[in-house]
Amino acid sequence: MINIVLFGKPGAGKGTQADFLKHKYNLVHLSTGDIFRFNIKNDTELGRLAKTFMDKGDLVPDEVTIKMLQSEVDKNPQAAGFLFDGFPRTIAQAEALDKFLEGKNQEITATVALEANDEILVQRLLERGKTSGRPDDQDEEKIRNRYQEYNEKTAPLMDYYKAQHKFYAVDGIGAIDEVTERLSLVLDTFQ
């Protein structure tokens, strides 16, 4: 079983690459954004709880996010592995994920960061914003704020996983198939 954490700033290509990785390595793709939307849309108990925080503009507490993620892992007992996208975002979440997986005799195999220059990513998102309908992709100030939040909260996870010898950086700039090939070179070593 391989369990992969996919990192990258907004616009780095995580969604595009996650779609490829889940098929190639037969992984269950767990996107926290998708999980939140599903739980809220289906009015689950966890979805209602998350919505109370989101409606106030607050971040959903780790314990709620982790419970949602655990529920998704538990729904897939026959999985060959998981691709975590958008989680963990903090060291506390990473520690909780490690503890949860350890209880299932599993662990994170590798964390892979799609790295790219902020200026290139800003242009990507502004371009995507023309068709995505997402307001946070149409405002350069909001985009840069998202990058600052990523640097402050998510980037320290790199050191956490480096200390475990599980961190790999991959150049996220180039044609989609070129980036896919770079990712495959890393992940194929775990097959």
Answer yes or no: 24 catalytic.
no
* Known binding-site residue numbers: 11-16, 32, 37, 58-60, 86-89, 93, 128, 134, 146, 174
Answer yes or no: 89 catalytic.
yes
Q: Which residue among the candidates 51, 146, 153, 166 is catalytic per the annotation?
A: 146
Whether 107 and 98 have beta carbons less than 8 Å apart is answered as yes
**Domain 2-181 sits in which CATH superfamily?**
P-loop containing nucleotide triphosphate hydrolases (3.40.50.300)
Dihedral Cα 13, 18, 21, 25, nearest 10 deg: 160
Q: Which are the contacts of 185, defined by CB distance < 8 A and separation ≥ 6?
A: none
Answer yes or no: 182 catalytic.
no
* Known binding-site residue numbers for AMP: 32, 37, 58-60, 86-89, 93, 134, 146
Q: What's the whole-model pTM score?
A: 0.85
Rounded Cα distance, 79 and 28, in Å: 7
Residue spans per domain, the chain: 2-181
Q: SS3 of 27, please?
A: coil
Q: Which residue among the candidates 14, 22, 124, 182 is catalytic per the annotation?
A: 14
- Per-residue pLDDT in tens (0 to 9) along the chain, 191 residues: 899 999 888 889 998 999 999 999 999 999 887 888 888 899 999 889 888 887 876 778 888 888 889 999 999 999 999 999 988 988 999 999 999 999 999 999 999 999 999 999 999 889 888 888 777 788 888 888 888 888 888 778 999 999 999 999 999 999 999 999 999 999 999 87
The per-residue pLDDT for 167 is 96
Among candidate residues 106, 48, 52, 54, the one with its CA nearest the CA of residue 79? 106
Cis omega before residue 88 (within 30°)?
A: yes
DSSP string, 115-147: E--HHHHHHHHHHHHHHH--GGGS-HHHHHHHH
The per-residue pLDDT for 51 is 85
